[in-house]
Amino acid sequence: MPEWVVVFLVTCGYLVISLSVGLLSGRKTSSSTEGWVAGDRSLGFVVLYFIMGASIFSAFAFLGGPGWAYSRGAAAFYIIAYGTVGLVPWYFFGPRVARLGRRFGYVTQAELFAHRFRSPAISGVLAVISIVAFVPYLVLQMSGAGYVFEVLTRGHVPFWMGAALAYGVVLVYVFRSGVMGVGWTNTLQGIFMMGLAWGLGLYLPHKLYGGVGPMFERIMREAPRMLSAPGLGPDGSPWSWGAYSSAIAISVLGFSLWPHTFMKLYTARDERTLKRTVVFYPTFQIFLIPIMLIGFAGVLAFPGVKPADEILPTIVTSIGISPVMVGLFCAGALAASMSTGDALLHASASVAVKDFWMPLFQPDMPDRAERTAMRVLVVLIGALAYAFALFARKSLVALLLFGYGFIAQLAPLAFATFFWPRATKAGALSGLLAGFAVTVIWDLVPSLQWLGIRAGIYGVAANVILLAAVSLATAPPDEAHVAEFVVS
Amino acid sequence: MDRRPRLFSSRLTRTERRVYGAVTVFFLLAFLATIWPIQAAFGGALPFVLSLPFDLFYLAAILVGSFFILLGLFVWEGRREERRRPNGRADDADATRGGSA
């Protein structure tokens, strides 16, 4: 049997298992919108831990991470840097979010913010920002799946078919089981990808150089600039500290506020479960170390691989390991892509209905119609992202940073919601719109980005200034209402 | 209405306020340590530590340090809630609300 067929069959086996787990896991939740979106607020530590870990670690970490380490050296360390503190805000405001969700029945992020500021417009703006950020992120996941299939089957399964196969499975279990499908498949996928990352991260340097130490010693001798922060820019010249630091800052600001992960705060069984998940999150994050090792393993052994995001599948198919192992690797990489893609798809549909359509056009939509609309949107948004993946492929990490610029605009709003009672609806809305507009303008005109500082940072600065100035210039909000949300 | 941001609950004791303040400062410093100019001071590859370039080890150490600080806070909060329960001073929700920083 040709090797690519073995790889393909092993990968299909993984897809069948994922599909089964995804379909079976949805049987225990209620048929309400709360069941489909928030899993009836019943998730325990293990599932929540893997949802968080696997949703955050995606094709970006699994393919983009080694790709950056391979092509840009220490620049890739920024991915570890922002994760060190990125989720910590959850420890402090997460329990409050969960409690408010229970009390007022929220299942999405914008429902909370819109209620705090009594503004359906904020809900609409957040829905637009979220979906604009989700689509490139989802495209990135689909592109990752397509790349993996294409490279590992040596082109026998083309990009379009690989992406369609993986995301066909995702679509079915998200459509059927909602967040429970996402949660239990993420548990399976998280275990798989962690095992694979540690296995390959330690095996490849040993196989190619005799160990991690000897690998770095050789790189230090032959390409020393690769190992010193802030590493290299996209063109191979030294990256600026401004670009490196602002990539970290914008990612830290946005990390805990991605709507698809923020929504999971509502799914926790209780507050201690939620805090425990945040505490143990670094045990997932540390797996970025072997991910970096994989990328560095390719620097001297496999020069000239383009695009750099394909370095991991390229190494795996070039070192003569058995096709079954290659198939398992393919499954692990798909797990990374699918475990984020499913959460994004699920959140996009929920946000579009709960945060855009309902507050602006049909506030009294029946529960059953809500759930049906969300399911239809799962299919439509999946199709849209697939079309982008086929016709607008860009570097995986560049796409992610584009999304982070928008999501970081939620940071001032979140701070004002929980910690600043004086913030008003007009201030929140003007801050958001200004932040969004400045980010778009600075992204479209790169010459405005002084010292390589990312567009989102300028957006956040404008956002904070407008939020504070307009809030102080307008009448204070109702104190009793605000007291429900703000630290008392 | 108060114009200033409210970071800590007014119901926290002095000790609780110190603990949450110290943890907040730690994470602020941890963030600053990952960007310019502090990271630049530790941005070299040498010496290798545990076979890793120093700048990579440095970030891994911050990550591990963050884990233990938050774990310590979690355990401390758990014990505090245990102590409060028999006296009926606070339920779980109140304790957590008091802990919001």
Instruction: Indicate yes or no: CB of A285 within 8 angstroms of CB of B30.
Output: no
Q: Which residue of A has its CA nearest to B81?
A: A272
Q: Scan residues 99-128 of A and list those with Cβ closer than 8 Å to B.
A: 99
Instruction: Quick: pLDDT tens for A267-297.
Output: 899 999 999 999 999 998 888 999 999 999 9
List beta partners, residue A232: A238
Instruction: Indicate yes or no: CB of A487 within 8 angstroms of CB of B9.
Output: yes
What is A253-295 written as a DSSP string? Answer: HHHTT-HHHHGGGGGBSSHHHHHHHHHHHHHHHTTHHHHHHHH
Instruction: Quick: pLDDT tens for A10-24.
Output: 999 989 998 998 889
Query: What confidence score (pLDDT) does residue B101 get?
Result: 45
Instruction: Quick: pLDDT tens for B1-24.
Output: 677 888 888 888 889 999 999 999
Q: Which residue of A has its CA nearest to B69?
A: A279
**Can you give the pLDDT of all 101 residues of chain B as single tens digits?**
677 888 888 888 889 999 999 999 999 999 999 999 998 888 789 999 999 999 999 999 999 999 999 999 999 999 998 888 765 544 444 444 444 44
Q: CB of B47 within 8 Å of any CB in chain A?
A: no
Q: CB of A220 within 8 Å of any CB in chain B?
A: yes
Q: Scan residues 371-400 of A and list those with Cβ closer than 8 Å to B.
A: none
Q: How far apart are the first and last CA of chain B?
A: 20
User: Can you read off the two tokens belonging to residue A262?
Assistant: 């923020």
CATH class of A3-407: mainly alpha
**Of the candidates A276, A148, A477, which has an alpha carbon nearest to the alpha carbon of residue B70?**
A276
Q: Count CB pairs under 8 A between chains A and B.
A: 154
Q: How far apart are the first and last CA of chain A?
A: 68
Q: Which residue of A has its CA nearest to B11?
A: A488
Q: Which residue of A has its CA nearest to B27?
A: A85
| Stretch among A55-59, A148-152, A328-332 having the lowest mean pLDDT | A55-59
Q: Scan residues 130-189 of A and list those with Cβ closer than 8 Å to B.
A: none
Query: What confidence score (pLDDT) does residue B21 get?
Result: 93
Residues in A touching B11 (Cβ below 8 Å): 488
Q: CB of A236 within 8 Å of any CB in chain B?
A: no
Instruction: Indicate yes or no: CB of A85 within 8 angstroms of CB of B66.
Output: yes
Question: What is the value of ipTM here, to two decimals?
Answer: 0.87
Radius of gyration of chain B (CA): 18
Instruction: Quick: pLDDT tens for A416-471.
Output: 999 999 999 999 999 999 998 999 898 888 788 788 888 889 999 999 999 999 99
Interface with A, mutate which of B36, B42, B77, B80 (most A CBs under 10 A): B36
Residues in A touching B55 (Cβ below 8 Å): 74, 77, 227-229
Whose tokens are 């970071």? That residue is B7
Instruction: Quick: pLDDT tens for A32-45.
Output: 888 888 888 888 88
Instruction: Indicate yes or no: CB of A84 within 8 angstroms of CB of B92.
Output: no
Domain ranges for chain B, please list them. Answer: 14-99
Instruction: Quick: pLDDT tens for A91-145.
Output: 999 999 999 999 999 999 999 999 999 999 999 989 988 887 888 888 888 888 8
Query: What confidence score (pLDDT) does residue B93 get?
Result: 42
Q: Where do runs of H (alpha helix) occur along A322-475?
A: 323-351, 358-360, 367-391, 396-407, 410-419, 425-444, 455-473
Instruction: Quick: pLDDT tens for A228-272.
Output: 989 999 888 999 999 999 999 998 998 889 898 899 899 899 999
A220 pLDDT more than 90: yes
User: Can you read off the two tokens belonging to residue A30?
Assistant: 């209620």
Query: What confidence score (pLDDT) does residue A103 get?
Result: 93
Instruction: Compute the average pLDDT of residues A56-74.
Output: 85
Domain ranges for chain A, please list them. Answer: 3-407, 409-488
DSSP character for A355?
A: I
Higher-pLDDT residue of A27, B61:
B61
Residues in B touching A472 (Cβ below 8 Å): 3
Q: pTM (2 decimals)?
A: 0.87
Q: CB of B71 within 8 Å of any CB in chain A?
A: yes
B1 vs A91: CA distance, rounded Å: 27
Query: SS3 helix, strand, coil % of chain B, rounded to 5?
Result: 65, 0, 35
Residues in B touching A85 (Cβ below 8 Å): 27, 30-31, 34, 66
Q: Where do runs of H (alpha helix) occur along A2-119?
A: 3-24, 33-38, 45-56, 59, 65-72, 77-85, 88-104, 109-116
Q: CB of B85 within 8 Å of any CB in chain A?
A: no
